[in-house]
Structure 1
């Protein structure tokens, strides 16, 4: 690259790769390194290959791919020729994958060699073979269409309108937005991928790390020590993680934690699930004030964000509305609530709209006019900072009092004997619902009545007596997604089925 050229002046990945082809782009799970120039050449070949198969603007391509170079290439190749790209969770069953492929009308499916998907291309080789490495003509920005987790009913694709503009015309807006909410800037950053890229946040952060000129380092999987090794080896500056990862990190012995240099970290962004205050404080005590949090959803994108020092001044907040977003807290009658009063969260964005693919009824049900409801309960403080209580569907009403499971889980997670916990409401003829805690003990901890007494005593100074679990049971493992989400509906149903 010409020394006079600053990548901050270049509008994203495609331009950066042309100007500085030798720049390190991706370090794969196996440690292999690909430059920006090499990545762009392959991306262009796949874009040409998709066009050669007859795909045109607005068509859909799906990928059933593990984290790695193929997943990155598909993301960037579809992103410059106006296609929708659907990343699919490769952990799903054959029938679940088939449902998504049918619902999204995928014209082409690319799968890894480990996935037996009927009619799919095995990897990107067939698409790229024999195709030119130069840019395709008539370029326009594509979009990723993520399928929601489907905790109630079948998953649905979150579809946004496509633009006629080239990606270079749109990228500056999004890189500006990320700069505003999480202080990410173009330059020589190193981004660590710790979660599967079939989820929206890890996928989006991978894409925009490349638009910022950063190097993307892909961890083979999340293992606390392995992640610390990668941070030290590659001098990682930013990463996207989830609260369960922080909890596992903090369970490492002190001498192990002290053995790794994490001083390169500038932004560790977390989302996907509520983070207990003690866990977040513990990581900041270790890594410094580098934790950035945002709250949103696949549908709303980043709706609220909080930087480290604002969070330290207001522990527990998920921040104020991100640029272009507005918020309202409404009661069951649709009346706006004053600061401090919990209610349903509604948000409105100036960044554009979405719809659920093939489901206008579901789209309409999620909206109140042009305000979207993520389904969470929360309240605003007097300064406009949002505090989450819980999902509306997970609220426990016991003796006529609202109880938020996340608050009880956060208290129990502060105990060193607890590796994970899920709190659910179980029907009770007298109280309406009882609070039940399903606890996954930490390694080496023996569950039993003595531990139960210890946990209830631990809750004493932390949460009111009426919130204490009436029942504590133990589980070997609790079902969380790689992004840390727990389907309490699934856990509750499994518990009730076993009664």
Structure 2
């Protein structure tokens, strides 16, 4: 099997229907299939063979889909890179995986060329006006390269927020199965329009937006950079029915003065980080659209668990494992814990990665007896709904007491003046760690008032002693709040 086969099969029955759009630009299924076949020919002429790594550094533009499926069609391995990477980062990733070629957006040419110096990788630049003309000169007779289910399709590099970035090998079966599961759970069909606001280089956007759209015959309307006003404009203009985002996107929509009824959205999906309950309730009350929360990691392709719309949802939970996937809560010895007890979330199933690229030690530490150890702390209730408590590395130990940042953040979100909150531990000479919060506001409030508000609602050892205000919390390109950066700034 080859992940690109799904595009070919969908194109056979929906050739004339749009698959990817960006404002006035449109690519149909038939054209995407044809252009990806020509990209495969282009790669062949560059000496790319099955199993070779091809890095792609493209923003959310239609050409991403053309190149992505072209690389897969050639039997090569896609190595998606963040377009915001700098020279040293590009060199590290390209050098680590031994990429033969880096295909980059024309505006990134200088950085891309500097990043590949000494790596042995060639550069190819996608220029919007020239790219279609170049491909028209390529024959499209090349068949989809046969690949085994366990062959690597995509090599994702972690963001590096927990240390040195690792290459995550995801197979054709991993990605194809996960895209099919997402399409099934969200009931995606030919009449759906998915908002492509998630970065396509990331596993969330790649599987849930691009691959699930292609699997189901839907349409993906792209947003190169999320901005609430622009997103609202695209949702209304293009008749978006499915919005997949991260909590920071929903918070931005809530704060936008032009936001109004969005009941035309059939489903809103949130992932990437825990959704604050007060944000979820405010969004649903104001816009009349239910948010369905899910959970996963790049190592799980990425979706491992999800709520289902309607009665199959439990607000504040991660939902239940998706079909074919098992999840457990275990102690430090790997023993399963009873319902309600907090332990590490472990995952087993066809979505679990093949391993970390050229890193057998890290692979063996992460995947034990078939179970992927996430490093996330959670619990499960009697009905099988999982709840995220904290990342293990985010847990604060204050004077011997364990404090879960999310619990403190949920209390802060209850204050009407709080827009966003991030709670971290900072070094303390006697207590080991002290609890600190960094907050963005939608109305004026002082630190003492917020401290008093939190102190009234939780145990004395939990409320934040230090509160700082900022205009915006630092986030990754995928919208995750960067707690390490916050902790470092407070410590400094």
TM-score with structure 1 setting the length: 0.88
Q: Who is 1:27 aligned against?
A: 21
2:66 to 65, 70, 73: 73
Q: Who is 2:435 aligned against?
A: 435
Does the aligned pair in 2 maintain the 1:250–1:283 contact within 8 Å?
Answer: yes
Deviation at 1:176, TM superposition (A): 4.1
Deviation at 1:214, TM superposition (A): 1.0
Between 387-396 and 46-55, the greater mean CA deviation after superposition: 46-55
Does the aligned pair in 1 maintain the 2:60–2:224 contact within 8 Å?
Answer: yes
Work out the CA distance in 2 between the residues paired with 1:268 and 1:275.
12
Q: Who is 2:190 aligned against?
A: 187
Q: 3-state DSSP class of the match of 1:151?
A: coil
User: Any stretches of 5+ residues in structure 2 without a counterpart?
Assistant: 114-121
Query: CA separation of 1:85/1:431 partners in 2, compared to 1, >3 Å: closer, same or farther?
Result: same
Q: Who is 1:97 aligned against?
A: 90
Work out the CA distance in 2 between the residues paired with 1:468 and 1:429.
18
Work out the CA distance in 1 between the residues paired with 2:144 and 2:428.
65
Q: How does 1:446-465 map to 2 (within 5 A)?
A: 451-460=446-455, 462-465=457-460
Deviation at 1:218, TM superposition (A): 0.4
Note the alpha carbon deviations across 1:200-256, whole angstroms, 9 max, x for none: 111222122022111110013211122112111111111210001111111123xx3
Note the alpha carbon deviations across 1:327-352, whole angstroms, 9 max, x for none: 22122233322111101111111445
Work out the CA distance in 1 between the residues paired with 2:428 and 2:268.
42
Work out the CA distance in 2 between the residues paired with 1:179 and 1:462.
41
Query: CA separation of 1:132/1:264 partners in 2, compared to 1, >3 Å: closer, same or farther?
Result: farther
Query: CA separation of 1:250/1:351 partners in 2, compared to 1, >3 Å: closer, same or farther?
Result: closer
Between 455-464 and 320-329, the greater mean CA deviation after superposition: 455-464
Work out the CA distance in 2 between the residues paired with 1:440 and 1:262.
25
Q: Who is 1:296 aligned against?
A: 296
Query: CA separation of 1:154/1:368 partners in 2, compared to 1, >3 Å: closer, same or farther?
Result: same
Q: Who is 1:316 aligned against?
A: 316
Deviation at 1:428, TM superposition (A): 2.0
Q: Who is 1:480 aligned against?
A: 475
Q: Who is 1:143 aligned against?
A: 153
Query: CA separation of 1:472/1:14 partners in 2, compared to 1, >3 Å: closer, same or farther?
Result: same
Q: How does 1:350-369 map to 2 (within 5 A)?
A: 350-351=350-351, 353-369=353-369
Deviation at 1:177, TM superposition (A): 1.7
Count of residue pairs the alignment pairs up: 469
Query: CA separation of 1:304/1:137 partners in 2, compared to 1, >3 Å: closer, same or farther?
Result: closer
Q: Who is 2:259 aligned against?
A: 257
Work out the CA distance in 1 between the residues paired with 2:192 and 2:273.
26
Note the alpha carbon deviations across 1:272-327, whole angstroms, 9 max, x for none: 00101111122222343532221110002211111233575x33110111111122
Deviation at 1:20, TM superposition (A): 3.1
Deviation at 1:40, TM superposition (A): 2.0
Query: CA separation of 1:134/1:234 partners in 2, compared to 1, >3 Å: closer, same or farther?
Result: farther
Q: 3-state DSSP class of the match of 1:466?
A: coil
TM-score with structure 2 setting the length: 0.89
Deviation at 1:149, TM superposition (A): 0.9
2:162 to 152, 160, 175: 152
Does the aligned pair in 2 maintain the 1:48–1:136 contact within 8 Å?
Answer: no
2:199 to 196, 199, 216: 196
Q: Who is 1:3 aligned against?
A: none
Work out the CA distance in 2 between the residues paired with 1:56 and 1:440.
50
Between 388-397 and 325-334, the greater mean CA deviation after superposition: 325-334
Q: How does 1:206-245 map to 2 (within 5 A)?
A: 206-245=210-249
Note the alpha carbon deviations across 1:131-176, whole angstroms, 9 max, x for none: 123453644477222111111332111113457xxx9xx95x5554
